[in-house]
Structure 1
Amino acid sequence: MSQTKLSKKNKKKREFPHVFVLLFIIVLIAVALTYIIPAGEFERIEDPETGRMIAKDNSYHLVEQQPVSIVEIPGLFITGLNEASDIILFIFVVGGAFQIITATGIFDLVVRKVAHFLGNRQILIIPIFLTLFSVGGFTIGMTVEGLALIPLAIALARSLGYDAITGLSMVFIGMYSGFISGLMNPFNVGVAQQISEVPIYSGMWLRAILLVVLLITASIYIIRYAIKVKKDPTKSIVFDMEQRAKKEDKVIENLRFQTKHYFVFLTILLGLGLLVWGVINKGWYINDIAALFLAMGIIAGLCAKFTPSHIAEEFIVGVKAFALGALIVGVARAIPVALEEALIIDTVINGLANLVVVLPDAIQVLGIYFVQSIINFFINSGSGQAAATMPIIAPLGDLIGITRQTGVLTFQLGDGFTNLIFPTGTTLMAYLAASGVPYEKWVKFIWPLVLIFIAIGGIFIVVANVIGY
């Protein structure tokens, strides 16, 4: 057998399964678990302060087994697509709108100006972006709202000689570093502290230190990768993707700022300013933000003197580019749908909580931390996980001598770090969809950082428990 044929054969053997195949396998495992894990529920009562339905401590009871049959599996995917329809629509609209804006050439012009301004300090763009997006994460709990800026971040990263993963990381990891540390995050710390009857946003000093540590760690990790890619582009985890992007890029060497570009740029600035105002003051979420970006795309196209038909054509190009990723979000949602329909999530929570009690005293707090990390696979929503677990974790902490503030910390860190890698997270899958980065490539890049973050979280939790935080 020739060397060429052998090489092709080995490459075929090493080929990673398509993300749909990977998600289908996970769905099959989830369906199998519905036959193995007993069905059970906690009684749920309404929290008078937040209006949320929370689990009542010591109320767990078994219910009739409701396994998901094989014939119901196609329905799981349809339900998942339906439940994630708002995010899917958001991805389509934002993808189309940004394609219109990209076609004006404004991004290419702006990133050139930024690259020229930074000069030899170009690498500083990484910690700057991480820090800026962390602010949105730790104040308003920004997650999916940053999705629309992924194309811009990737364009900037590529202009500096980096790749799509670098651009994606600057936004996604920065945002989640802020979200996880949760200084004033209403969706994880806020809800957990209310349920645990801890003063809202108290204990911020330790979370602020955690934020700084996470940002420094993430900056070093991404910078090392970015420098490696710039020195040798073949070291990029998404090298094939970058090669395709170069072939598809339009040659715009002679493009210069014109009056129309200033109007496009002004449209983007005003739109982003309106986005911040709407999210903070009016509670805008996916539908409102999608409408805003659709308007921005159309106005930018008109400012660039595009005809209505040209605007429509560019929009369709953008939608096509994001189609696969948008569908992945819905398919991934089928995993928690299977577990919810079979009523086994509460059984998992109850079993893990009971396991913590029998652990040696010295590691019980770490036991709670890892329990929350496991539960995050099943309940990916921060506020949803808080409502489901904190009514159990808070009194459990009282029983084993862990302060409620430390209990909240174990929840927020257990809920947070694995959001960077678990495929059940619709936010992660949406960001991968917006960037075009395959899930398996992202896992290859992110898993060492996730382990580092988890270790850092463990250290903070042990320290918090020792000092009676």
Structure 2
Amino acid sequence: MEKGTKKENGVVMNEQVKKEKWFVMPDTYIIVAVIVLVMAILTWIVPPGSYDYQEVDVNGRMRTIAIDGTFHYLDKSEANPTGFLDYFKALYMGCVDAANIIFVIFTCAGTFGILVKTGAFHAGIGSVLKKMGNKDVMLVPILMSIFALGGSMFGMLSEFYGFIPLIVGLGVAMGYDAMYGFGIIILGEFIGFMGATLNPYTVGVSQAIAGVPIYSATGFRAFCLVCFISVSSVYVILYGKKIKKNPELSVVYGEKSIHEFNREDLDKYKMDGKAILIMMDVLVTLGFLMYGMINLGWSYGELCGLFLIMSMVAAVIDGWSPNRWVDEFIAGVKTVLWGGILTGIAKAIVIVMQDAHIMDTIIYGLSSSLNNLPSMLSAQTMLLAQTILNFFIPSGSGQAAATMPIMAPLADMVGVSRQVACLAFQFGDGLSNLVWPTGTCVIVCGIGGISLQNWWKWFLPLAGILLAMQAVFIAVAIFMGL
């Protein structure tokens, strides 16, 4: 071994810190806090404004939507720019507002920490890898397609949160890294959402508001989805081949994953009766959860409740005492404490904008940029505008309700069909969910134990490719007369 290096846990590390580096990427907390600060400064620059809103029945559910042509600037007395103390207060209010999401992250981590400690996951993953042999690369398109179909057809995102620790651990056990497994499930979920075919929260809401026949042009969107998944699968597979050849090229090299499985240790665990019962406990619980969220309107409360029950049942099967269950649950929560708090801090970005009444002003400004542009350029600008707006309105159905009443008639004015306007919304909302820290990007990174910096470093090249594909598909849709 060369002088100046040492070996820890099988990883060669440099003893000497490279002080000559002129730039060090700041911590994720600092990045998000700076974004909150930028928003706070904008509240002193961007004038407050608002649309008038009305309650409208959209596919059997009452939604508050903006009324096109009603935007007006608010009186200066109604302005509420963010002051010095308000900035720090917003960080607190963000955590309060995101409490439901934070506790989902904590519950997922605590629950799956317990399930891992039972050894059932080790046994299950070991069995899968033995059966796959050298063909484990086929798991990438298979798993990604399964998760994508859930997002594309039913709008499933949070329903899959419970699978994140398992798939991340699978990526490590297969000899790759945590990012490999994380990419499989997260790309699958969110690209399915982006290439939605029957998603009721994006396609259903946007088409209903725009006056487009519900679920029309499904075939074209299905074609787009297949293309998106194919490219993303290749991206993950090529990354996997690269880091297997040279592990130092991993974006998480030297970092221990909180969901890590060592492949050498898998042989110690056997798929005995206990392991089978625990895996059945997991599958039954996740099945109930998916059914309830799709058909019964369940949300995060039921998700957390079911996960607590699932972990308790697993502990009983494995013969644990109540005290051990508590100890292991808390130990699991500690691993994602940073992610939970980060979710709350990111929520402060939206809190600042809402309190200052600048969100509608931003929507108005972006939509006005489409005026007097050629139809093709207007459609591409609409895609860009929806991508940017998702930073400010991270909810898919919320963004549809806020923007489609404005974008749909604007599309008529610039010579773009309302179907294309819906497609631009769907693409812009879906892809940027994986980039903007105001949305679910921070949540899934917290559950997966992946830092936001590492995720951006890994994903942004693919994001550029997917954005280019979106622009091409928008152009094709216009030529096809959709």
TM range (shorter): over 0.9
Paired amino acid for 1:463: V
More helix by share: 1
Q: Indicate if the aligned counterparts of 1:163 and 1:242 stay in contact, CA closer than 8 A.
A: no
Residue number in structure 1 paired with 2:40: 31
1:309-324 matched pairs, under 5 angstroms: 309-324=323-338
CA distance in 1, matches of 2:91, 2:116: 33
Q: Indicate if the aligned counterparts of 2:123 and 2:270 stay in contact, CA closer than 8 A.
A: yes
Q: Structure 1 residues 6, 400: closer, same or farther in 2, change over 3 A?
A: same
1:90-129 matched pairs, under 5 angstroms: 90-129=104-143
Residue number in structure 1 paired with 2:20: 10
CA deviation profile, 1:383-421 (whole Å, cap 9, x unmatched):
111111100000001111111111100111111111111
CA distance in 1, matches of 2:235, 2:302: 35
CA distance in 1, matches of 2:420, 2:281: 45
1:187-266 matched pairs, under 5 angstroms: 187-242=201-256, 253-266=267-280
Q: TM-score, normalised by structure 1?
A: 0.95
1:334-373 matched pairs, under 5 angstroms: 334-373=348-387
Residue 452 (str. 1) matches residue 461 (str. 2)? no
Q: Indicate if the aligned counterparts of 1:108 and 1:155 stay in contact, CA closer than 8 A.
A: no
CA distance in 2, matches of 1:245, 1:89: 18
1:413-424 matched pairs, under 5 angstroms: 413-424=427-438
Q: Structure 1 residues 9, 261: closer, same or farther in 2, change over 3 A?
A: same
Q: Structure 1 residues 278, 369: closer, same or farther in 2, change over 3 A?
A: same
- Shift of residue 360, structure 1, vs aligned partner: 3.5
- Shift of residue 358, structure 1, vs aligned partner: 2.8
Residue 303 (str. 1) matches residue 317 (str. 2)? yes
Judge which range, 221-230 or 264-273, deviates more. 264-273
- Shift of residue 249, structure 1, vs aligned partner: 9.9
Residue number in structure 2 paired with 1:325: 339
CA distance in 2, matches of 1:243, 1:132: 24
Q: Which of residues 277, 282, 297 in structure 1 aligns to 2:296?
A: 282
Residue number in structure 1 paired with 2:69: 58
Q: Structure 1 residues 245, 212: closer, same or farther in 2, change over 3 A?
A: closer
Judge which range, 331-340 or 270-279, deviates more. 270-279
- Shift of residue 258, structure 1, vs aligned partner: 2.5
- Shift of residue 116, structure 1, vs aligned partner: 0.8
- Shift of residue 6, structure 1, vs aligned partner: 8.1
Divergent runs of 4+, >6 A: 3-6, 243-250
Q: Aligned residue pairs: how many?
A: 466
Judge which range, 444-453 or 279-288, deviates more. 279-288
Residue 42 (str. 1) matches residue 48 (str. 2)? no
- Shift of residue 78, structure 1, vs aligned partner: 1.2
CA distance in 2, matches of 1:276, 1:374: 31
Paired amino acid for 1:57: D
CA distance in 2, matches of 1:91, 1:6: 36
CA deviation profile, 1:10-58 (whole Å, cap 9, x unmatched):
24x4321111111111111000111111110000011134311111010
Q: Indicate if the aligned counterparts of 1:138 and 1:185 stay in contact, CA closer than 8 A.
A: yes
CA distance in 2, matches of 1:318, 1:250: 23
Question: Where in structure 1 are there 5+ consecutive unaligned residues?
Answer: none
CA distance in 2, matches of 1:334, 1:200: 35
Paired amino acid for 2:162: A
Q: TM-score, normalised by structure 2?
A: 0.93
CA deviation profile, 1:295-351 (whole Å, cap 9, x unmatched):
111100110111111111110110111111111111100011111111111111111
Q: Structure 1 residues 243, 396: closer, same or farther in 2, change over 3 A?
A: closer
Q: Structure 1 residues 111, 287: closer, same or farther in 2, change over 3 A?
A: same
CA deviation profile, 1:241-274 (whole Å, cap 9, x unmatched):
1488779999564332332222212211211221
Query: SS of the counterpart of 1:420?
Result: coil
Q: Which of residues 447, 455, 459 in structure 2 aligns to 1:442?
A: 455
Taking only the aligned residue pairs, the percentage that are identical comes to: 35
Question: Where in structure 2 are there 5+ consecutive unaligned residues?
Answer: 5-13
Residue number in structure 1 paired with 2:11: none
Q: Indicate if the aligned counterparts of 1:145 and 1:285 stay in contact, CA closer than 8 A.
A: no
Q: Structure 1 residues 367, 113: closer, same or farther in 2, change over 3 A?
A: same
1:421-432 matched pairs, under 5 angstroms: 421-425=435-439, 427-432=440-445
Q: Structure 1 residues 450, 334: closer, same or farther in 2, change over 3 A?
A: same
Residue number in structure 1 paired with 2:8: none
CA distance in 1, matches of 2:351, 2:218: 35
Q: Structure 1 residues 169, 246: closer, same or farther in 2, change over 3 A?
A: closer
- Shift of residue 66, structure 1, vs aligned partner: 2.0
CA distance in 2, matches of 1:221, 1:206: 23
- Shift of residue 7, structure 1, vs aligned partner: 5.1
CA distance in 2, matches of 1:364, 1:246: 47
Q: Structure 1 residues 239, 62: closer, same or farther in 2, change over 3 A?
A: same
Query: SS of the counterpart of 2:433?
Result: helix
Paired amino acid for 2:442: M
Query: SS of the counterpart of 1:14?
Result: coil
Q: Which of residues 63, 78, 99 in structure 2 aligns to 1:85?
A: 99
CA distance in 1, matches of 2:232, 2:474: 19
CA distance in 2, matches of 1:247, 1:258: 19
- After superposition, the CA RMSD in angstroms is 2.0
Paired amino acid for 1:298: M
Q: Which of residues 19, 37, 43 in structure 1 aligns to 2:28?
A: 19
Paired amino acid for 2:478: N
- Shift of residue 180, structure 1, vs aligned partner: 0.9
Q: Structure 1 residues 243, 269: closer, same or farther in 2, change over 3 A?
A: closer
CA distance in 2, matches of 1:248, 1:77: 38
Q: Indicate if the aligned counterparts of 1:38 and 1:62 stay in contact, CA closer than 8 A.
A: yes
